[in-house]
Structure 1
Amino acid sequence: MEHIRRVAELAREIARNNGLDPERAYLAGLLHDAARDLPEEELRRLAPPENEVEEAHPLALHGRAARALAASWGVRDEEVLEAIEGHVYGVDPENGIGMALYVADVSEPGRGVNEEIRELALAGRLKEAYRLAVRNKVHYLKAKKIPIHPRTLEVYHSL
């Protein structure tokens, strides 16, 4: 819960510093890991696997599952829902709330990493911070020989 609180607060501050709606970013932050600790069978029910990565690594489903939960709880803001879903593998760079959430999730102080990404975003350079965050994730996964989600690769190549 502490991670969720830190992400929500950081996403709100990043949004504020980049001309985005801070409360929408805060809501996305509060809900982003709503499905994170669900049993594998529940993740699969809420978000049936769409590719080999999701089939082999059900935790990769938690963003889509959290989106389903948020929608069932009455969240109708499409940008917020896309942010929640995309915090696992990335969002279209046109989704400012999604970029703010993604950056907040990978750089919140409790993780102890990515301070430079957080500082860029807080300095009003969100797209630059997002680009660096996605690049770092892809390079990390490649180095660890961990399969990369197809949507992450799409975002990586689009940036």
Structure 2
Amino acid sequence: MNGTVSTAELLEKVKALVRPERWAHIQRVAALAREIAEKNGLDGERAYLAGILHDAARDLPLEELARLAPPENEVEEAHPLSLHGRAARVLAEAWGVEDKEVLEAVEGHVYGVDPRNGLGMALYIADVSEPGRGVNGEIRELALSGNLLEAYRLAVRNKVEYLKGKGIPVHPRTLAVYQSLLHAS
């Protein structure tokens, strides 16, 4: 799954790159992603790994984010922190992670993932609803009750509505996921 690198080694690599508050968030997200995955018949350990990796690049300087994941559109240029998912994927690949679904989940936790990526949906939901955030408890509970797709649909819809309500441009990938979820069953 991870080439030659162990999960323990990855934990240390990520921990070294982030602030203590971010590390605490990462640990909560990873544990919740594992639980959501398991409640929905998915591989909990792979979801846990995606959770550990998802914010690996979040505390890097903006210049480093842009170097690892050059902006691909106006939204990314205007909001460089949105690059941290793609940058985390680049780091994970450099560290020897080869699991495509895990890598897609890491990259997609910012914009959303194709609904066929169950690990990605579990991670996305875990990130937006982990208890430390104090929001989206209903989305978390829906996912934990075995309704992963419905919880993901609600999470993406909430994000799109929130961004539009704040006058913030929605990333093209997020809009594409949002549209695909209107028709997913």
What is the alpha-carbon distance in structure 2 between the residues aligned to residue 102 and residue 21 of structure 1? 15
Which residue of the partner structure matches residue 19 of structure 1?
41
- Determine whether 1:78 maps to 2:103: no
What is the alpha-carbon distance in structure 2 between the residues aligned to residue 138 and residue 57 of structure 1? 16
Which residue of the partner structure matches residue 89 of structure 1?
111
Larger Rg: 2
What is the alpha-carbon distance in structure 2 between the residues aligned to residue 127 and residue 158 of structure 1? 12
- Give the letter aligned to residue 154 of structure 2: L
Q: Where in structure 2 are there 5+ consecutive unaligned residues? A: 1-22
What is the alpha-carbon distance in structure 2 between the residues aligned to residue 108 and residue 70 of structure 1? 22
1:67-109 Cα deviation digits (max 9, x unpaired): 0000000000000000000000100000000000000000000
What is the alpha-carbon distance in structure 2 between the residues aligned to residue 54 and residue 95 of structure 1? 23
Which residue of the partner structure matches residue 146 of structure 1?
168
What is the alpha-carbon distance in structure 2 between the residues aligned to residue 158 and residue 16 of structure 1? 24
| Alpha-carbon shift at residue 40 of structure 1 (Å) | 0.8
- In the alignment, which of 118, 122, 142 is matched to residue 120 of structure 1? 142
| Alpha-carbon shift at residue 147 of structure 1 (Å) | 1.0
- Give the letter aligned to residue 117 of structure 1: I
1:126-146 Cα deviation digits (max 9, x unpaired): 000000000000000000001
1:18-77 Cα deviation digits (max 9, x unpaired): 000000000000000000010011000100000000011100000000000000000000
- Written as runs of structure 1 = structure 2, the 5 A alignment for 1:28-39 is 28-39=50-61
What is the alpha-carbon distance in structure 1 between the residues aligned to residue 98 and residue 63 of structure 2? 26
| Alpha-carbon shift at residue 10 of structure 1 (Å) | 0.1
- In the alignment, which of 78, 95, 116 is matched to residue 56 of structure 1? 78
- Determine whether 1:108 maps to 2:123: no
TM-score by length of 2: 0.86
Which residue of the partner structure matches residue 131 of structure 1?
153
Which residue of the partner structure matches residue 3 of structure 1?
25
What RMSD over aligned residues (CA atoms) do the two structures have, in Å? 0.4
What is the alpha-carbon distance in structure 2 between the residues aligned to residue 38 and residue 53 of structure 1? 19
What is the alpha-carbon distance in structure 1 between the residues aligned to residue 139 and residue 62 of structure 2? 31
Which residue of the partner structure matches residue 6 of structure 2?
none
